[in-house]
Structure 1
Amino acid sequence: MAVIPVAIAGAPYEVRIEAGLLSNAGQHCRPFLRKDRVAVITDANVAANWREVVAASFTAAGIRSEWLVLTAGESTKSWQCLAEVVDWLLALEVERKDNIVALGGGVIGDLTGFAASMVKRGCGFVQIPTTLLAQVDSSVGGKTAINTPAGKNLVGAFHQPSLVLADPLALDTLPLRDTRAGYAEVIKYGLIDDAPFFEWCEANGTRLLAGDSGARETAIARSVAAKARIVAADEKETAGIRALLNLGHTFGHALEAETGFSDRLLHGEGVALGTVLAARFSARRGLMNGQDARRIAAHMEAVGLPSSLQSLGLACDGRRLVGHMLHDKKMDAGTLPFLLMRGIGQTFLAKDVDLADVAAFLDEELRA
């Protein structure tokens, strides 16, 4: 088992990575539970595949599990579902020192974590991520949120989990498209500050997507270790370090907004295309060479991720996409910082980007 410590001041925890953890979830969670009962929040898709396995593991550990099964999909990250989760937890008389369990992908993890931050002014929670995206990114670091009509993840809280259990076997039940979407977040860690890891991705990405267990465990462990290091240095994104994790997200969230936060463009697909756009925009500004930008796009394309803005068939212009960006959480005194690159493994936060220049660039990409 790989055990990655997340050294958050005052709230340290572990990320445990091993095939078969879902079958032993009860054993791992038992030390974090004060009662012989646990509240588990999941969605219908995950419940169909894993509820029986996880419930049996809790029973074997002497724990009775109570289940709330929500509709699967991004629309579940809403005020309505948040209220449903909170009311359900209060009806179960969850207390401040209790830990609840989030079993699912990023949507369930974000929603459950936000609810946990609110109930009794903050109870604990355990993340059991079942998608690649959640295992390598959203389950670690304590960002929790819901979406609103104004944009994605604009209402939320920093609330660290007590434990994260990542089982690569959970990925066997995912559609390939969802695994690809999660892989975009894996690539991101190489592009931020670890060029050798990006090279590893180029050599092993197709094996990971084909189900190679060794490649999956390596990717998850290296990604989590990278995120843990960054989050420990800047938990609440106040020092400009954690912002590096948003590579591809400013462009990506704008594309998600334009496509209605729907299955037309999954979050990871938006991050993939957003990363390609960040690289091309960096090359356009003379920050990185065009060869590196093309190399990034080529790898996205090689693994089946979107690499062309025109391929989305959007009926909008660059100004409209930039309008979506104005709701970005990184807005500061009317200025939107961008994550750009000086090369592969050399991402930085740029605070001098003219949004009119971004709009013009996007117009070019829409016509390309």
Structure 2
Amino acid sequence: MKKILFKCLPLAAVLMIAGNAQAQEMTTMSTGTPIPLSTWSIGVNGGVLVPISPLGGKNDFSNFKANFGYGLYIKKQFTPNFSLRLDGVRGKLSGDNSEPFESGLTPSSAVNRFETDLTYSGSLNAVVNLLNIDMFKKENYVQLYASAGAGLAGYKVKTSATSTGTLVDYAGDKTISELIIPVGLGAKFRVSDKINLDLGWTVNYVDGDNLDGVYRQTSDRYSYGYAGLEFALGAGKQKAWHNPVALTYDEALSAKQTANALKGELDATKAENAKLRADLNDLLKDTDGDGVADKLDKCPDTPAGTVVDGAGCPLKVPAPVVQEKIIVTEADRKVVADAIKNLEFDLG
């Protein structure tokens, strides 16, 4: 089982990288506007390694030591709420029996001190974002998450029969490899579009009882509490902080506001049209019915049937002209002819 898992971890890492060669992807708003989102990130952290679990269980030593540990990871965000994370951790674990147990019992063991060098610890973990502090922002600033996975840990153990004695190799300086099941909780704080502050605590359950050099046919465990920074890769904002529900809500709200604005403009246009119609009716009003609007009528109250000019005033009718017929007779012509003959011209 350990050999199979040891072979599968690098393969899983390769598949994660090969299946998603780009560090970003595009999502599309309902309006059709594309938004680039960063889906790959790397993280570095440091913290405390202790050979106990806060979830309880039997401890082989009464006094555990807190030692420095450090780690790094690479993460692929598949959805805003789910990602796969490849973790690696190194450090040291130690403890002794220099104090009685909390129950008051005095430790009695052939091994009273140990020191374990955690040569490597690699695991593939599924990470689920449990809670965004503000569900109605497109991007939040605080996230709570949980993780669980499987991996391998390789370590070398040294033990001593006394709490202050010399440490000797537990397995002949051999690196022991065991299956581990890490389970953790954490919180992330968005510092910027590309950087997160990451705080977490992971309990690693070991499929073996060699971690502290005391073999009692029970499974050992150790914890890693850490603080670190996560750096998003690629262009665009981080998909882990992207809230599609809030974004859809904002788009719907924006659409409603646009519709309300259009309705307001339509109502204003209707009111303006009604005013123009009233003004037009007022311009075309013809009280006396002479065909000339009141505003242009210089002669209002013209009697019905009166013919008016363009100014609305009655047209002036010229007086009738009576033509007399003149009849010239033959006698008249003779008188005229005689008169012409009798004309005398005084030429001086």
| TM class, shorter-length | under 0.3
**Rg larger in structure:** 2
Higher helix share: 1
- Tell me the TM-score normalized by structure 2: 0.20
- Tell me the TM-score normalized by structure 1: 0.19
